Amino acid sequence: MKKRPLRWLFALACFAGLTAMMAGSAVAGIVGSVHDLGQAWGDPQDRICVFCHTPHHAQVPSEENNWGDDYKPLWNRPDSTITYTMYTSQTITHSDRDNIHRAPTGPSKLCLSCHDGSIAIDSFSGNYMGTHYLVGDDFGENQITGVDSLHNDHPISFVWDDTLTNNDGELVDPETTLSPAHTGKTLQQDLLWETGKGTGVYKLECSSCHDVHNGPAAVAAGDNLLYLPQERGQICLMCHKK
């Protein structure tokens, strides 16, 4: 009998501790994230996945049979037809310096079907008459290309191979580093894009830094869906030895 109130207190303390923990950790997942577009744009059925995927009638990759650069995971949106100016600079190590890559590939193309501002967010399921566009290539704005330029953006869609790592000298080796996103795998396995299944040719894409689904590996507290926080340069130091 004497112990009972104590036990009750203990249970109360545990409960308080648990709720404090839950309040402190961000709830990961696409629900309620920036990509919960049914909520944001008022879909009458309040759907989520349909803005990007469909179980039927999906877009298929143009190189379906050889697993090339085109990636269409049950994709429910049209491709952008924009030709972009890609990033370059005097100090780029990549061998294709003057044209670090000719065009966005793989998952990056999927992102750009909204983030280049040329296709409406609510253009999906074969009805491409949507009216909500992302606008503005400025800080805090979510169209990042200024319509046709990836020239002012971190380089994407280029092959990151041993030659690049060795020639640069200040890049993390993507084959040996444990990816912070899913401990136990390498950066290459987790966050680079294998262009063609089993080819061993890996590229850096938008999805190397961002988790479109705001999944468990994404940074808490909505830091741009990044795999590591910007705090103390963590996301940059994941790849750059600076």
- CB count, 10 Å around CB of 30? 19
By the rule CB under 6 A, 219 interacts with ligand HEC:
no
Name the amino acid, one letter, at 140: G
Contact track, ligand HEC, 163-202, x by CB under 6 A: -x---x--x-------------------x-----------
Pick from 211, 190, 220, 210: nearest CA to 28: 220
CA angle 50, 55, 59 (to 5 degrees): 80
User: How many angstroms separate the CA atoms of 240 and 104, rounded?
Assistant: 22
By the rule CB under 6 A, 51 interacts with ligand HEC:
yes
In angstroms, give the least distance from the CB of 123 to ligand HEC. Answer: 9
In angstroms, give the least distance from the CB of 126 to ligand HEC. Answer: 15
- Beta carbons of 52 and 124 less than 8 angstroms apart: yes
Pick from 178, 154, 176, 181: nearest CA to 165: 176
Q: Among 159, 181, 204, 219, which residue interacts with ligand HEC (rule: CB under 6 A)?
A: 204
By the rule CB under 6 A, 218 interacts with ligand HEC:
no
Contact track, ligand HEC, 114-153, x by CB under 6 A: xx-----x------------x----xxxx-x---------
CA-CA distances (angstroms) from residue 80 to 15, 77, 112? Answer: 51, 9, 7
Which range in 1-9, 13-21, 61-69, 109-117 contacts ligand HEC by CB under 6 A? 109-117
Which range in 3-11, 17-25, 30-38, 56-64 contacts ligand HEC by CB under 6 A? 30-38
| Helix, strand, coil distribution of the chain in percent, nearest 5 | 30, 10, 65
What phi and psi values does residue 127 have, to the nearest 5 degrees?
-105, 100
In angstroms, give the least distance from the CB of 12 to ligand HEC. Answer: 36
What phi and psi values does residue 140 have, to the nearest 5 degrees?
85, -5
In angstroms, give the least distance from the CB of 46 to ligand HEC. Answer: 12
Residues that bind ligand HEC (CB under 6 A): 30, 34-35, 37, 48-49, 51-53, 73, 89, 91-94, 107-108, 110-115, 121, 134, 139-142, 144, 154-156, 160, 164, 168, 171, 191, 204, 206-210, 212-213, 222, 224-226, 230, 235-236, 238-240
